Structure 1
Amino acid sequence: MTPSERPLRLGAFGTSSIAWRRVLPTVTRMPQWDLVAVAGRTAKKAAQFAEHFRCAAEDDAEALLERTDIDAVYVSTPTALHHTWAERALRAGKHVLVEKPIGTTAAEARSLCALAAERRLALRENFMFLHHPQHVRAREMVADGRLGRPASFRAAFCIPPLPHDDIRYDARLGGGALLDVGVYPLRAAALLLGPGLEPAGATLRTRASDGLELSGQVLLVSPSGILAELAFGFEHAYASTYTLWGDRARLTVTRAFTPPPAHQPLLVLEEQDREERLTLPAADQLMLLLEEFAEAVRTGGGSAEPHSESVAMMELVDTIRTTARRVEVR
């Protein structure tokens, strides 16, 4: 078997819930990938992962990065450490798939993307939903004029309150609703409305003790004047949806961000006197992302477009943080 034919060899750093539940089980089912080793915050945790996924365990990340039998590294550390360990992996000559978001600031995103481009290494965020075909269909309907002239976009990704000890409530580790769930509607707005979005206003509900964002709302404006209203947070019944509204019809994607692999997406097109409900084939958005990442690894980095999109999203995050009105919640 030639190098271009063999599976790509993956090392995983981080023993997170998403790695255990979704990413590594999917990796082990794919012919493109061979999970070689895992390292975590403790040797015990890494050993548990290694036994479950039938791979090697390393005592720490440095040992993982020193391995010569690894082509790429999947980073699923707490958000505040994404930049640190993605950078170290890139400097070790490894391609990188990092959990979203790519960092905590636009400066972190820019530095990682520049380093990956300089070294001709693939760098991708694990934004699974961007790879689901339902969004391709939604964009086609807009391009075909089914909605007429778009005027507004609304998106929400909200979840109920988390257990009090959940890592997403730890501000020191990059917790907070903006970086955890808020980045989804931000990326959806860019996906549907294109580049050049500018914040026009934002409100964040924050924890009085440390300023951690519990929920928020953001208003964006596209270069063509489309208004985007985004909601996110840890204080709501579950919602994962977006709606694009034009002068002829309104299109809603009902399970926009986290559809299970077997879920058949439903797109609802509402016109003045009729409603059309489109049920699409199920798709595994994570598997599609991992296929794209494998292709980028084999081609020495692939397109630079994902880099510009990652940086643009973090620029929006920075602006929202600095300009938002904050409402303390006790």
Structure 2
Amino acid sequence: MRLLLVGLSRFARRRVLPAASALEGIEIVDVASAHGGAVDNLPKLGRRHTDWRAALEGTEPALVYVSTVNSTHAEVVRHALRRGHHVVVDKPAFLTLDTAEELVALARSQSRVLAEATNYAFHPVFSPDLAKDITQAVAVFTPPVPPEDFRHDRSSGGGAFLDTGPYFASLGRVLWGLEPDDVHVIVGDRTADGLELAYSVLAGYPGGRTVVGQFGFTTHYRNALQLLGPGVAIDVPRPFSAPPDLAVDLRIEVDGQRRTRSVRPADSMELFLAAVLDAVHAGSREFDAALLSDARTRDRAVRAAER
């Protein structure tokens, strides 16, 4: 299958292009970017475009990966689906729950896959048995985002709820297959016009499970997850961005006995894109539920902060 990358973000260059190049199911990688960028040495490089609309219209139905500024995701995805393409979109997929529901419905009507790139969940560290005895999750994710980045700009779809919200929103789903039934949020730092740059969250899930989190991009970098349950504690390093070439060492304590379990190196983006290709070939709608669930949870957090 041909992959058309729309937008040449740092994340796309660092994670998407290497993963696409490694996948046997992707034969050619076309790039559409008005700002250019050095990809001349990319394996499988096909056509270069400066206009994403012309690229979508001039490409036979393919897999499109959207890695543009957040505020433009909906426009690009809508156009791609109407042109008959399958679509993957960087998180946050869309700015509002209404838009997520609209575009999932459009994808269904076109019999096309639409997936949000919550790729961390595809790393083998998040195996089905990870949260078997876990009732509480404590997450800290504070990636550094410089002030000149679009994530500090409201009109570009910036803000901590959009940038880091997908990690909080997906965590309960990834661990337990659940959405929260109670969400409380305290906003920390804001820009001069009130755009949130950091927040703390407490979410309750069915069965007495909870997620506590600190997210944002105005403090020192931390990327950690601690899982707790009766007699058990698990520390997960780099849970949301495990490097593809490094093993993840889980620190586990059960009834006072400590041990380390090493999880093999894996490229979560490559595994995610492979799952998308499988869904394309099988005609599966498996990614709809995850996209909509995370959009609902993030919407609850935004409304909780407003209260």
Q: TM-score range by the shorter chain?
A: over 0.9
CA distance in 2, matches of 1:203, 1:114: 33
Moved more, 198-207 or 111-120: 198-207
After superposing on structure 2, the runs of 4+ consecutive aligned residues of structure 1 that deviate more than 4 Å are: none
Q: Match for 1:179: what amino acid? A: L
Q: Deviations over 1:120-156 (max 9, x none)?
A: 11111111111101101xx31443xxx4xx4322112
Q: Tell me the CA shift for residue 270 of structure 1.
A: 1.5
Distance 1:206 1:35, change over 3 A: farther
CA distance in 2, matches of 1:239, 1:227: 20
| SS in structure 1 of the partner of residue 12 of structure 2 | helix
Residues 152 and 227, structure 1, Cα contact 8 Å, conserved in 2: yes
CA distance in 2, matches of 1:280, 1:57: 38
Note the aligned Cα RMSD (angstroms). 1.9
Q: Deviations over 1:72-122 (max 9, x none)?
A: 111111111111111110010000011111101111111111111111111
Corresponding residue to 1:112 among 103, 112, 122: 103
Q: Tell me the CA shift for residue 164 of structure 1.
A: 2.1
CA distance in 2, matches of 1:126, 1:141: 21
CA distance in 1, matches of 2:27, 2:7: 17
1:10-89 aligned within 5 A: 10-40=3-33, 42=34, 45-46=35-36, 48-49=37-38, 51-53=40-42, 54-89=45-80
State the number of aligned residues: 305
1:140 maps to 2:129? yes
Q: Match for 1:183: what amino acid? A: P
Q: Deviations over 1:16-43 (max 9, x none)?
A: 1111222113212322113342212x2x
Structure 2 unmatched ranges of 5 or more: none
CA distance in 2, matches of 1:196, 1:22: 28
| SS in structure 2 of the partner of residue 218 of structure 1 | strand
Q: Which residue matches 1:4?
A: none
TM-score, normalisation: structure 1? 0.86
Q: Which residue matches 2:297?
A: 316
Corresponding residue to 2:152 among 158, 163, 169: 169
Q: Deviations over 1:209-234 (max 9, x none)?
A: 12211111111111112121111111
CA distance in 2, matches of 1:191, 1:81: 27
Residues 237 and 249, structure 2, Cα contact 8 Å, conserved in 1: yes
1:156 maps to 2:166? no
Structure 1 unmatched ranges of 5 or more: 1-7
1:1-330 aligned within 5 A: 8-40=1-33, 42=34, 45-46=35-36, 48-49=37-38, 51-53=40-42, 54-136=45-127, 139-143=128-132, 147=133, 150-160=134-144, 162-300=145-283, 302-304=284-286, 306-324=287-305
TM-score, normalisation: structure 2? 0.92
Residues 199 and 214, structure 2, Cα contact 8 Å, conserved in 1: yes
Residues 89 and 96, structure 1, Cα contact 8 Å, conserved in 2: yes
Identity of paired residues, percent?
30
Q: Deviations over 1:177-198 (max 9, x none)?
A: 1211232132122211322312
Q: Match for 2:173: what amino acid? A: A
